[in-house]
């Protein structure tokens, strides 16, 4: 099977043969030189292409360019699925990041005319390559399961049973694991932010920041406020923690995508993917 064959055209969609398999299982099947490999490839494409194309439309100036961006992202994803070190993270998020990387390539040549003017301006003024999302390092420090729970459950608002299929876990794991995953990410973000400060005293305020943004019985600290008044670094870390607490979907979408994260998260729901129940058919949908 040609692992690079992620075309934009039609073809089989897995015919529900792999509808109940997790993305990780489908990736394993791609490694096998068997008749199951191509249907597994088609199933991954059927699951994720609508969302990737929706993001590509935010990056592109027109429908044709959007389809080219999405198709190229899938083509680049195929070699990453080959045997060897797994890049990790949710498949869909990985594809969206690849879409941004393709857009950055386009910005350097005549294909730049196919990009959204706002994105093109960002790419041309932000240095070489695609901007690195600000929460990406902290996100990637989490276990793959937690990354998937946050991406599919919070950003994408997939139903719990659909998230469970994508990640290969139980529905109860989704229901009970998403909130702890978000707390783990918030702690990782805070550690990353404070560690990047040039002032070693910032690390001493980590506990005070955590206590001040607790949703129940927060503890206000005059010392923290006095420090933030003269330390933009800690003030930014504090605001980031508040946003993760109060608007996690927006915070994650903006923090984990290089462009138009909020617009992506607020898009209209896509058609159900192969083997997946309609959105909202069951399970909780975190805010």
Task: For 71-118, write each residue's pLDDT tens digit.
Answer: 999 999 876 655 555 567 899 999 999 999 999 999 999 999 999 999
pLDDT of 283 higher than 50: no
Backbone angles phi, psi at 94, to 5 degrees: -60, -40
- Residue pair 46/273 in contact by the 8 Å Cβ criterion: yes
Confidence of residue 238 (pLDDT cuts 50, 70, 90): very high
Average pLDDT rounded to a whole number, residues 190-204? 92
The two structure tokens encoding residue 243: 């946003």
Angle between helices 171-195 and 160-167 (to 10 degrees): 70
The pTM score is 0.87
- Residue pair 238/77 in contact by the 8 Å Cβ criterion: no
pLDDT of residue 22: 95
pLDDT of residue 70: 98
Average pLDDT, the chain: 87
Note the Cα 153 to chain centre separation in Å: 11
Q: 3-class secondary structure for the chain?
A: CCCCCCCCCCCCCCCCCCCCCCHHHHHHHHHCCCCCHHHHHHHHHHHHHHHHHHHHHHHECCHHHHHHHHHHHHHHHHHHCCCCCCCCCCHHHHHHHHHHHHHHHHCCCHHHHHECHHHHHHHHHCCCCCCCCCCHHHHHCCCHHHHHHHHHHHHCCCCHHHHHHHHCCCHHHHHHHHHHHHHHHHHHHHHHHHHCCCCHHHHHHHHHHHHHCCCCCCCCCHHHHHHHHHCHHHHHHHHHHHHHHHCHHHHHHHHHCCCCHHHHHCCCCCCCCCCCCCCCCCCCCCC
Give 10-60 pLDDT, tens digit per residue: 444 444 668 899 999 998 888 777 788 888 889 999 999 999 999 999 999
pLDDT of residue 168: 96
């Amino acid at each position: 099977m040609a692992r690079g064959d992620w075309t934009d055209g039609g073809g089989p969609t897995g015919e529900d043969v792999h509808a109940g398999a997790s993305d990780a299982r489908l990736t394993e099947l791609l490694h096998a030189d068997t008749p199951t490999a191509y249907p597994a490839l088609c199933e991954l494409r059927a699951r994720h292409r609508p969302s990737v194309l929706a993001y590509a439309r935010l990056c592109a100036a027109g429908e044709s360019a959007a389809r080219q961006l999405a198709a190229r992202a899938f083509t680049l994803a195929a070699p990453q699925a080959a045997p060897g070190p797994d890049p990790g993270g949710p498949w869909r998020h990985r594809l969206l990041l690849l879409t941004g990387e393709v857009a950055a390539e386009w910005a350097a040549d005549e294909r730049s005319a196919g990009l959204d003017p706002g994105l093109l301006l960002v790419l041309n003024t932000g240095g070489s390559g695609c901007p690195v999302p600000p929460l990406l390092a902290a996100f990637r420090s989490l276990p793959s399961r937690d990354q998937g729970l946050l991406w599919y459950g919070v950003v994408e608002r997939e139903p719990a049973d659909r998230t469970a299929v994508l990640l290969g876990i139980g529905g109860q794991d989704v229901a009970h694991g998403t909130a702890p995953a978000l707390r783990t990410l918030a702690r990782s973000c805070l550690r990353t932010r404070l560690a990047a400060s040039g002032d070693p005293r910032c690390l001493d305020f980590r506990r005070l920041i955590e206590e001040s943004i607790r949703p129940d019985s927060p503890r206000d600290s005059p010392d923290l406020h006095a420090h933030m008044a003269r330390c933009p670094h800690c003030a930014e870390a504090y605001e980031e923690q508040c946003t993760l607490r109060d608007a996690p979907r927006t915070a994650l979408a903006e923090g984990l995508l290089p462009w138009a994260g909020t617009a992506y998260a607020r898009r209209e729901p896509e058609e159900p993917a192969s083997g997946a129940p309609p959105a909202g058919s069951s399970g909780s949908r975190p805010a």
